[in-house]
Structure 1
Amino acid sequence: MAGPWIVPEWDAPANVGAAVSTRLGPGRSAPPYDRLNLGSRSGDDPATVAANRDALALALDLPAPPLWLRQVHGTDVADATDSVAVSGGEPVADAAVARGPGKVLAILTADCLPVLFASADGATIAAAHAGWRGLAAGVLGNTVTRMGVPPESLVAWLGPAIGGASYEVGAEVRAAFVERDRMAEAAFVPTRPGHWNCDLYVLARRKLAAAGVTRISGGGFDTFRDERLYSYRRDGAASGRFASLIWTR
């Protein structure tokens, strides 16, 4: 995974491309955002972020500008063909689907879990932002449903998120999962009274399996410990955002 990009290792069709940006890419952001910050609401200079997004598209030779979302830790799924998306706006949603060639989807994160999806024939793609709130509330299941293809035919990839050993949470987070799924207890390791280390990857795999998706790759990252990646828990309000992208050629 050396270099400015992380390229997923998954069983996606040949006409589907995917990559994750790192701060080592061709960006202009000054410290503490240096250098490829792609988050327009992270406190960085808006013109610099816009230039970074242009540089990203050029470096990855994307077939179209990415559909950027206004992510709100919810469960809504945008369609790349709706009026807001087509006009160049940012739909308020935490996932997006696209059909046909020449589409690019992007998810911004800095500890939350990005999940990429592709249908077996490469005709339909999706990307989801799964922070703990959206993950518990069903954003991954909603995304699978909106793709409109048999879930058993999908491939999914779990991108860089904060690792279980670095992510301590309180009782409200644990309850949000365990009250719906008792077996989700396996994702929580006690640390101190009322607190647990939480493994988002374990939780995501359970949610995907419940939605009928079994071909799942990825995981094993830890944004908190990987200096190439932005981490809100590590860096606080001065954290930038990296992008997980998927596109159809």
Structure 2
Amino acid sequence: MPAPWLEAHWPLPASVRAFTTLRHGLGVSQPPFDDLNLGLRAGDEPTAVLRNRALLREAARLPSEPCWLRQVHGVDVARFGRTEEDEAEADASVTSTAGTVLAILTADCMPVLFCAEDCSEVGAAHAGWRGLVGGVLENTVAAMRTPPQRLHAWLGPAAGPQHYEIGEEVYDAFVSRDWSAGSAFVSTRPHHWRVDLYALARRRLEAVGIDAGRIHGGGLCTIAEPDRFFSHRRDQRGGRMASLIWIEPGK
């Protein structure tokens, strides 16, 4: 049976593991959270979510309980070692401690995972449109001790450019700060556009010094694939996927 997660594809050794969970293949949540909902604040039964987290930890052989965050669509970044309090209020996290598992929850927003080329440090960011506008990716890179030129980034599953329609507020938020960001928008009807979150993320990562050839992933759409992904935009009520990254201890 295939694993209930999608591995990050990037040219890094096995000493770093990174993936985004899928909707099915593991878990005990009932509709509309079926099956592997990992979000405690999505409306699911807490006992089911905690069971799902335990099942994931066992199936993926996680070296520790993930460092879950209280995500608020902001730009704050938490640095984790071994003993920090769980669920810091932040939308990104970084660590250089082997065995510390970083986690981001999404259901249309984009998870962006980072890794130093020598695998000495990793990071994870929750990048919906508000986070992208506010600078959550820039803040995550700045919080890392690794120079941007030595980082790799992976863009996990998010609402795709063929299905993610937004209004004037979102368009203005990006274009008022950077007129050339308009290339990531396609007009659909008066005051509405389809937006390419992946393109916006790539622009911002390149602007802070990550080479385009070191930015991987993108191209998936959570809205278009209900059998694989949760989508808040599509379903309104449903579960959350987790994107995890960690440095394997002893490697």
1:219, 1:206 → 2: CA distance? 13
Task: Report what 1:86 is aligned to.
Answer: 83
**4+ residue runs over 4 A deviation:** none
Letter in 1 for 2:80: A
- The answer to whether structure 1 residue 129 and structure 2 residue 126 are counterparts is yes
In the TM superposition, what are the counterparts of 1:140-151 in structure 2 within 5 Å?
A: 140-151=137-148
Which structure 2 residue ranges, 5 or more long, are not aligned? Answer: none
Identity rate, percent: 55
TM-score by length of 1: 0.95
Alpha-carbon displacement from aligned partner over 1:28-59 (angstroms, at most 9, x marks no partner): 10111110000000000011101100111110
Alpha-carbon displacement from aligned partner over 1:101-131 (angstroms, at most 9, x marks no partner): 1111110000000000000111110000001
Q: Is the 8 A contact 1:66 1:104 kept in 2?
A: yes
1:25, 1:117 → 2: CA distance? 26
Letter in 2 for 1:75: V
In the TM superposition, what are the counterparts of 1:162-201 in structure 2 within 5 Å?
A: 162-201=159-198
Alpha-carbon displacement from aligned partner over 1:143-171 (angstroms, at most 9, x marks no partner): 00001211010000000000011111111
Structure 1 residues 44, 87: closer, same or farther in 2, change over 3 A? same
2:13, 2:209 → 1: CA distance? 19
Task: Report what 2:18 is aligned to.
Answer: 18
Q: Secondary structure at the match of 1:247?
A: strand
Task: Report what 1:221 is aligned to.
Answer: 220
Which structure 1 residue ranges, 5 or more long, are not aligned? Answer: none
Task: Report what 2:149 is aligned to.
Answer: 152
Q: CA deviation at 1:88?
A: 4.4
Letter in 2 for 1:26: L
Q: CA deviation at 1:3?
A: 4.5
Letter in 2 for 1:192: R
In the TM superposition, what are the counterparts of 1:220-239 in structure 2 within 5 Å?
A: 220-227=219-226, 228-236=228-236, 238-239=237-238
TM-score by length of 2: 0.95
Structure 1 residues 210, 66: closer, same or farther in 2, change over 3 A? same
2:14, 2:5 → 1: CA distance? 19
